[in-house]
Structure 1
Amino acid sequence: MNDKDRDKRNGIMVSEVVKEYALQRGFEVYENMRMSKVEMNEAALTSVARMAMALSDGDKAFEMVKQMKILGINPRLRSYGPALSTYCNNGEIDKAFDVEKHMLEHGVYPEEPELEALLRVSIRGGKSDRVYYVLHKLRSSVRKVSTTTADLIVDWFKSKIALKVGKRKWDNGLIMKAMQNNGGGWHGTGWLGKGKWQVLQTSVRKDGMCKCCGVQLATIDLDPVETENFAKSVASIAISNEKNSNFQTFQKWLDYYGPFEAVIDAANVGLYSQGKFMPSKINAVVNELRQKLPSKKFPLIVLHHRRIKGDKRDVPINKALVDRWNNANVLYATPTGSNDDWYWLYAAIKFKCLLVSNDEMRDHLFQLLGNDFFPKWKERHQVRFGFSDAGLEFYMPPPCSVVIQESEEGHWHIPIEAELNDEAERRWLCITRAKLDMVSGDSSTTSKDEKPLQNGEQAKSVTRKESAKELQYQNLVNHKKMIGTPQESYKNHRK
């Protein structure tokens, strides 16, 4: 048997004969444990599911997950992987979506790898309704897609089946009402339009307009009910983790001294870059931010009390700053045993205002908040900052929500995941029906600056017919690090 007939397992070449023997023995061990009524945990049953996957037996793999529920074991995301992967690889579309349904019913939510597998099998099977469903699952749970998923999406829109799907006529009023009810950015009523799709890779202007088709991308924030529920969720978690009634005291303080137009994570600001706490940096942020707020009032400064009463409390300049903030009733010192993260986060949510912090908010505390509200809120309200030789710079929230968007005309805009310092550099897929008019005219005529995106190919970012002055302006925007916005931008975040 040559090397092509062997599999690599942890760097060791394993023949098919050895593989089959190992699987046989593995199932024998499982059956012996089951007959002897040996208690098995999630890890053991998942291992059996993986053996079933090696035999392309999706039903057996799925049965292991069902056994977990019978035994009172909560399945995990990894528990579903073997069954989902096997069904998708075998082209068993309905069974693959049965797995996803089972996941949701038991509080397990698919992530991008699982959704990518569902998307792939749906495209391969030509199931346009399933593709539409998964695109919206990606929108709600993933928001930005990997390059692999983006390539898969391009494959779909380039396919002959995609060309045929969609409504020729629809009620614009109903579409707009659906988008309004959803908070903007999508309608979810099905494919719109007919004909060939045009797929371009582009970027978004400073004002949130697609450089390719000219569509104004939506800014999607929490609605009032979601905001209230989110604030209650944060307060509940904070109270359950706090000693005594510290957090309730903070809530009463906010009711008395609020509202505020911005909140500063003062520890994050004071420790910026050097790891050495410097109140002067907090002061710089406070003073600069005040100039951007409509009222010009002080923002709320949240800081752990040990930072205020630390080794340098008697330094005149530091004492003067603290006294100034205290006298203005804008400094809240969190007590011993409290996590100041909950305090500044709750205040920013409660007042629907900006939060100045470079904290990525990825640790286990923030994971308790889940993905229902937090990513959407964070994107619209977090202001990042930086100090350089040129001075203090603010990086305001992006001009539109960086999430998959579906327009009232059936356009799709899909952001691609990347590590960026400037949101203006992000690449988007702009997907339109070729027969729809572009900003510059009929899209059936492609200008020399436009180039349809081929699989794995980068298209030019500027596809509209812009004047030399506009191009010069766009270049300035794309290379400028600071995208701070004054009062008008702030007002948009308060809506």
Structure 2
Amino acid sequence: MEVPNPNPSNHPSNYKTKKKKNQSPEGKFRRDLDLCSKHKDLSTAISLYDSALSHHIRLIHHHFNALLYICSETLSDHSAKISAYEFGFRVFDHMLASGIKPTEATVTAVARLSAAKGDGDAAFELVKSMEKYGEKPRLRSYGPALMCYCANSEAEKAYELEEHMVAAGVGAEEPEVAALLKVSAETGRREKVYEYLHKMRERVRGVSEATAEIIEGWFGGAVAAEVGVLDWDEDGVREAILRNGGGWHGMGWMGEGNWLVKRVNVGEDGGCVCCGERLVCVDIDRAETEIFAQSVASLALEREVQANFRDFQDWLDKHIEYEAIVDGANIGLYQQNFAEGGFSICQSSLML
């Protein structure tokens, strides 16, 4: 049987109401703003902001970032788009005037607002400004300006932005490479199409439907049919393929004429069901091999006696005719990790 509460004022619902009534204006503002952020409610956020200013509530970094986040997330709503970027820039100007340093998230949100206005230059300048704030741009920071440039067919500006990305140590992923590939194809930049196709090859295991359509559009177009040379050095091409790990030669387009574009399947044995060619295993290229070798050497110098390892390196330099070095100790211990296992001289002898 339920026992009546002798003190109704201690009922939980009354306590919550009392707690809300005793909440400070700053606390209530933050709570209401967080709710707006959760529901992406721009109109209420604007009202809260104006009310906070009229009541002289001091805005902190969290408030500004929440407001800018709401603005950037509202851009997809066409009816609220203009209000979003007008209010967003007002908030950002207030933030800077208050002496609050923007973070990477802050700048990225404002860059989205600039790109929504079609101003890729402003979005790019915002990314460049991160350095003076002590912030490092991320891939999402570059995205708004890059997509804006590509949508406006401003290929050269898109290439400049990508160079800035590379210098900052930021690598593009499929959406960014696809956008660069598309603007290159649309503006007839055949050398850039070639470049971004191979960047796609290096970074993406399987392309999306949208990317596949961009690639098909290029090879089915008139410009692609005019690209290439008829005479080339076959030995030079083979050497370049070997140098690049067997995946590609990197010497540009070979041959001219219309491309035959088809979507095909590859069998379990690696063979193409259309042309009959078999996929090949691609190794790392020489540049990657050198980086790997340097990493192994650095690790060895940390763990082994440095003089001994350097002597081994000198020996290798003097015996370049050897293509492989067999580690006898590892051969002798191969598959010996059982109770009676140990160094097997027999296994080592078999390698002689």
TM-score bin, normalised by smaller chain:
0.5 to 0.7
More strand by share: 1
Q: CA deviation at 1:115?
A: 0.5
How far apart, in 2, do the equivalents of 1:82 and 1:12 lie? 12
CA contact (8 A) 2:101 2:133 kept: no
1:21 is aligned to 2:83: yes
1:106 aligns with 168
2:231 aligns with 169
2:100 aligns with 38
CA contact (8 A) 1:52 1:60 kept: yes
How far apart, in 1, do the equivalents of 2:76 and 2:266 lie? 49
Q: Which amino acid aligns with 2:242?
A: Q
CA contact (8 A) 1:185 1:217 kept: no
1:47 is aligned to 2:109: yes
1:135 is aligned to 2:179: no
With over 3 angstroms needed to count, the CA separation of the structure-2 counterparts of 1:24 and 1:11, relative to structure 1, is: closer
Q: CA deviation at 1:171?
A: 2.0
Q: CA deviation at 1:165?
A: 1.4
Farther-moved stretch of structure 1 (161-170 vs 229-238)? 229-238
How far apart, in 2, do the equivalents of 1:234 and 1:40 lie? 41
How far apart, in 2, do the equivalents of 1:225 and 1:119 lie? 25
Q: CA deviation at 1:102?
A: 0.7
Q: CA deviation at 1:173?
A: 2.4
Instruction: Please give the secondary structure, in 1, of the residue aligned with 2:137.
Output: coil
1:257 aligns with 329
TM-score w.r.t. the length of structure 1 is 0.45
1:323 is aligned to 2:339: yes
1:218 is aligned to 2:276: no
Deviations 1:263-322 (A, max 9, x none): xxxxxxxxxxxxxxxxxxxxxxxxxxxxxxxxxx95476xxxxxxxxxxxxxxxxxxxx4
Q: CA deviation at 1:99?
A: 1.1
2:320 aligns with none
How far apart, in 1, do the equivalents of 2:77 and 2:286 lie? 59
1:489 aligns with none
In structure 2, list runs of 5 or more residues that go unmatched. 1-71, 304-325, 345-352
1:202 is aligned to 2:264: yes
Instruction: Please give the secondary structure, in 2, of the residue aligned with 1:258.
Output: helix
2:252 aligns with 190
Which of 117, 125, 137 aligns to 1:63? It is 125
Q: CA deviation at 1:46?
A: 0.6
With over 3 angstroms needed to count, the CA separation of the structure-2 counterparts of 1:147 and 1:239, relative to structure 1, is: farther
Q: Which amino acid aligns with 2:146?
A: L
CA contact (8 A) 2:110 2:123 kept: yes
With over 3 angstroms needed to count, the CA separation of the structure-2 counterparts of 1:12 and 1:76, relative to structure 1, is: closer
Q: CA deviation at 1:13?
A: 9.3
Q: CA deviation at 1:83?
A: 0.4
With over 3 angstroms needed to count, the CA separation of the structure-2 counterparts of 1:92 and 1:185, relative to structure 1, is: same
Q: CA deviation at 1:191?
A: 1.3
Percent identical: 44
Q: CA deviation at 1:255?
A: 6.2
Deviations 1:209-260 (A, max 9, x none): 43333434332223688457437648979999xxxx8xxxxxxxx9673148
Q: CA deviation at 1:151?
A: 2.3
With over 3 angstroms needed to count, the CA separation of the structure-2 counterparts of 1:237 and 1:35, relative to structure 1, is: farther
In structure 1, list runs of 5 or more residues that go unmatched. 1-8, 246-253, 261-296, 302-321, 330-495
Give 1:96-495 correspondences, 5 Å limit. Answer: 96-205=158-267, 208-222=270-284, 226=288, 229-230=291-292, 233=295, 257-259=329-331, 298-299=334-335, 322-324=338-340, 326-327=341-342
Instruction: Please give the secondary structure, in 1, of the residue aligned with 2:261.
Output: strand
Q: Which amino acid aligns with 1:68?
A: M
Q: What is the aligned-residue RMSD (CA, Å)?
A: 3.6
2:30 aligns with none
CA contact (8 A) 2:244 2:285 kept: no
1:72 is aligned to 2:144: no
Farther-moved stretch of structure 1 (189-198 vs 163-172)? 163-172
More helix by share: 2
Instruction: Please give the secondary structure, in 1, of the residue aligned with 2:279.
Output: coil
TM-score w.r.t. the length of structure 2 is 0.62
1:93 aligns with 155
Q: Which amino acid aligns with 1:120?
A: K
Instruction: Please give the secondary structure, in 2, of the residue aligned with 1:129.
Output: helix
Q: Which amino acid aligns with 2:171?
A: Y
Deviations 1:331-359 (A, max 9, x none): xxxxxxxxxxxxxxxxxxxxxxxxxxxxx
